[in-house]
Amino acid sequence: MPDGGAVFRGVGHVLGDRPLFEDVHLDVPPGAVLAVLGPSGAGKSTLLRMAAGLVRPTTGTVTAPRRMGYAFAEPRLLPWRTALENVVFALGRRARQPDLERGRSLLARLGLAGSEGSRPAELSTGMRQRVSLARALMPGAPLLVLDEPTSALDVRLRAEVRTALLELSADAASAVLWSTHDPYEAAQVADEVFVLTPAASTRHTSVPLVPRSLRSTEDVDAAARAITRCLTATGTPSPAPSHAGPSAADPLGDHP
Ligand SMILES: Nc1ncnc2c1ncn2[C@@H]1O[C@H](COP(=O)(O)OP(=O)(O)OP(=O)(O)O)[C@@H](O)[C@H]1O
């Protein structure tokens, strides 16, 4: 395995006698963002957990670096520690002054300047989610796993946090696994999109994207529509359209 990145080879998972997904092949190299989408219960979190070794695949192999930052779908903060203490806790050692400064800077970057000394019970749900994201970013690890990282945020914060996550993970050249229910978010942040398709099928598909550095607003809209079609299809993948049409890629109704 190269230093960084995650590789899935022929990965499948069976729950009881029900296959959740099968034959998943993915490469997430250092610096790349893979967005994972699918309806509730399709197995997004399961797939992410496999990268951390928290779930063993029924078939196939997952190779990932040992050092990683992981933001679970629920924040899982230590209630007796402050926001800053929760963030630096990710280092697994006694925090030194530069660690505290980095922790403060990450919290500030995620809009939490001034909340460093607050305990989780004193924070809103969205604030707790951002503390958990700062904790995942703290080690600057080669792999960053983000399970629905903006689900508890309002529209403005979602946009800001997305940008911060992309910049901070790029600084560390992390490979990023990012699950979301939002096709528009995936179309914005991802280098590759992986869709676990609806329940009765174990199919999955990738959605082609224009390279992120060249992606226009119209490309984002078009990709989001293609992702939405994959999510609502009965299993047949749709290619990404090459041009923008009327915007229909806003299932949450919260994008401009
Ligand atoms: N610890 C577990 N034991 C048994 N089944 C589990 C466990 N965790 C998840 N599952 C089952 O695995 C399936 C996939 O769950 P998973 O959380 O991966 O889906 P998801 O796509 O992330 O869903 P959501 O969008 O609702 O978060 C579901 O049917 C769920 O009930």
Q: What is the ipTM of this complex?
A: 0.94
More confident of the two residues 177 and 208: 177
Residue owning tokens 């070794």: 53
* Dist. CA 246–CA 98, nearest whole Å: 49
Ligand 1 atom having least distance to the Cα of 48 = 18
Query: Does residue 72 form part of some domain?
Result: no
Ligand 1 atom having least distance to the Cα of 196 = 21
Helix (H, G, I), strand (E, B) or coil at 249: coil
Q: Do 148 and 244 share a domain, yes or no?
A: yes
Q: Do 129 and 152 share a domain, yes or no?
A: no
Last residue of one domain, picked from the residues 100, 122, 140: 140
pLDDT at 104: 98
Element containing residue 2 per DSSP (H, E): none
Last residue of one domain, picked from the residues 91, 106, 140: 140
Q: Do 53 and 152 share a domain, yes or no?
A: yes
* Dist. CA 233–CA 158, nearest whole Å: 27
pTM of the predicted protein model:
0.88
Query: What confidence tier does 3 reach under pLDDT thresholds 50, 70, 90?
Result: low
Query: Does residue 101 form part of some domain?
Result: yes
Ligand 1 atom having least distance to the Cα of 49 = 18
Residue 237 has pLDDT above 80, yes or no: no
Q: Do 153 and 210 share a domain, yes or no?
A: yes
Q: Do 204 and 242 share a domain, yes or no?
A: yes
| Closest residue by CA, ligand 1 atom 25 | 40
Total domains present in the chain:
2
Q: Do 175 and 107 share a domain, yes or no?
A: no
Report the half-sphere exposure of 23 (CA within 13 A, side-chain side). Answer: 5
Q: Do 218 and 117 share a domain, yes or no?
A: no
- Count CB neighbours of 56 within 10 A: 9
Q: What is the mean pLDDT of the chain?
A: 87
Query: Does residue 46 form part of some domain?
Result: yes
User: 125-137 and 155-171 are packed helices; what angle lies between their axes, rounded to 10 degrees?
Assistant: 10
Residue 89 has pLDDT above 70, yes or no: yes
Which residue range forms the structural domain that includes residue 20? 1-67+143-256
Distance 121 CA to ligand 1 centre (A): 27
pLDDT at 244: 32
